[in-house]
Structure 1
Amino acid sequence: MSQMTQLLKMDTEDGSIVASVARVEAEQGLRRTLLFVTMPGSVADCLLYAIERELPWLVIERVEHIQAACTKFAHPVSLVLIDPEHVKAAEDAAMDISRLHPLALTAVMELDSHNPSCSFPEIFESKLIRGVLPMDLKLDVWLSVIRLMLRGGEYFPTGLFHSYADKFVRNPTARPANGSASPAARNISEDDLSDLTSREIEILEMVSRGLQNKAIAAALGLSEHTVKIHLHNIIRKLGAHNRTEAAARFHDYHKPASRPR
């Protein structure tokens, strides 16, 4: 059995073949592409230098619009980072991006994670966006988030939850631009929580604090595969679209102003 096969066998027990392939290829020194879709100068040179220094196997490519991202590059794309103003265009091109870059995770760059440019419903309902990269993090934390995303891990800063929850508490009738009911408006009730097991509530609480599957698994002494199964059950029981929506609803429920009386 080859080293590649052995590593994949160990890593794909949880079914995450995309993240496993990316990790194995990175460990074996194969080149990958980090694609920025942003205007020139939007990403500080010091950040680009830090990526090149810490992740020498990564090739940085920069384009100014989504159409330019819908093409093949010399090395497979592992991560696509886009400016908030490109989100709608990225959604429109989601099928092309997924087809051309099947191993890539797509995330939005936010200059201020506490005052995000993208609305929470926009992130919830996205078919493409699977993370938010705050650009105001300390360099070592920022690089850690980049590494997580390169391995297929989703990241949503807790500030994003807090920002949206605060806005919803101030204006509970708020609706997203498309006129559909806001995800946070479908509040968690006592009955919803009663459907969850104690372990599921424990995991949901950790997700609402921004913890990723690997950290949750380590803290609870579980495998990542088990955590993913619990999350699947949580999302199904709450009728949420994804883990982010489930976590936001849980966060809203624990806001004093949003508790049922």
Structure 2
Amino acid sequence: MDMLLDGNAYDATGARRRLEPRRVILILTNSGSVSERLIDAIEREFPWIRIEQVEHVSAACATFSHPVALILIDMALMKKAEAASAELLRIHPHALTAVIEPYDKVQVTPLSEVAASPLIRSVLPMDLRLDVWLSIIRLMLCGGEYFPPGSMIRTMLRDQNAILSAHNGAAQVLQGRMTNMAELTARESQILGMVSHGLQNKLIAAECGLSEHTVKIHLHHIIRKLGVHNRTEAAARFRNLHDNGQPMNEN
């Protein structure tokens, strides 16, 4: 168990551990999409996170005890949330917003609609192993976006012509963003998010439990996949994607 002394946290060995700033995950659902078991798992994995659940969009347009880092929205409430997107983004300017993808894939809104949303930046599948699911939560808390890989992304890219006619060319930007996200692994997206926040390799390695050499290898792969020349350009690409019509997402 960690001990708190002089404003710092210490583990059982006496080593000082960096305290994470307290943040809120806001869950907007009236159907119990995220079970109590999953909420307990989040709180165990991220002890600095507090879970707040509301059933109405109006209740989400409020301030909470700590800044909101992540908003999870039930698919059934997506349209109502989008209608209030300006207010949600004003009150929670640093929160990444994800739609909860239910177990029944028949009811899932096409990713083309999700990607064209003024509010939604990611999709949280609910049919994954717990460790994978928590890794996606961690990625989102770091500001990284996530979309299910494989056929769903390919389907969305095939629909780009329909998006172009409906959104005046926005799909071309979207296609590049989604292609990059499909190519980066969850770990690479996490590391790129940290680089964009100005963290050096040593701090990234400590945060992720990796060696600095492993972080350098991940950065090499990121630079290659994005087609940029260095980490500075990769970080700029990440920030530009997040600034494209939305406030910058930060922890």
> Which amino acid in 2 is paired with 1:33?
V
Greater CA drift, 26-35 or 211-220: 211-220
Query: What are the residue-to-residue correspondences of 1:104-253 with 2, within 5 Å?
Result: 104-112=95-103, 117-159=108-150, 160-164=152-156, 168=159, 175=162, 180=166, 207-209=181-183, 211=185, 213=189, 214=191, 217-220=219-222, 224-229=231-236
Q: Please say if 1:97 is aligned against 2:88.
A: yes
Give, in whole Å, the separation in 2 of the partners of 1:184 and 1:144. Answer: 30
Give, in whole Å, the separation in 1 of the partners of 2:108 and 2:138. Answer: 23
Give, in whole Å, the separation in 2 of the partners of 1:230 and 1:81. Answer: 25
Give, in whole Å, the separation in 2 of the partners of 1:224 and 1:137. Answer: 31
C-alpha distance 165-100 of structure 1, shift in aligned 2 (>3 A): closer
User: Structure 1: which 5+ residue stretches go unaligned?
Assistant: 1-25, 187-200, 236-240, 243-261
Moved over 6 A (4+): 181-186
Matched residue pairs, number?
A: 191
TM-score, with normalisation over the residues of structure 2? 0.62
C-alpha distance 162-140 of structure 1, shift in aligned 2 (>3 A): same
Q: CA deviation at 1:124?
A: 2.4
Cα RMSD (Å): 3.8
User: Structure 2: which 5+ residue stretches go unaligned?
Assistant: 1-16, 193-217, 224-228, 246-251
C-alpha distance 113-137 of structure 1, shift in aligned 2 (>3 A): farther
Q: Please say if 1:41 is aligned against 2:26.
A: no
Counterpart pick for 1:71 among 59, 62, 66: 62
Greater CA drift, 93-102 or 36-45: 36-45
Q: Is the 8 A contact 2:184 2:222 kept in 1?
A: no
Deviations 1:192-245 (A, max 9, x none): xxxxxxxxx9x9865333535437634256755422445789x8xxxxx89xxx
Q: CA deviation at 1:107?
A: 0.6
Q: Please say if 1:85 is aligned against 2:76.
A: yes
Q: Percent identity?
A: 40
C-alpha distance 89-27 of structure 1, shift in aligned 2 (>3 A): farther
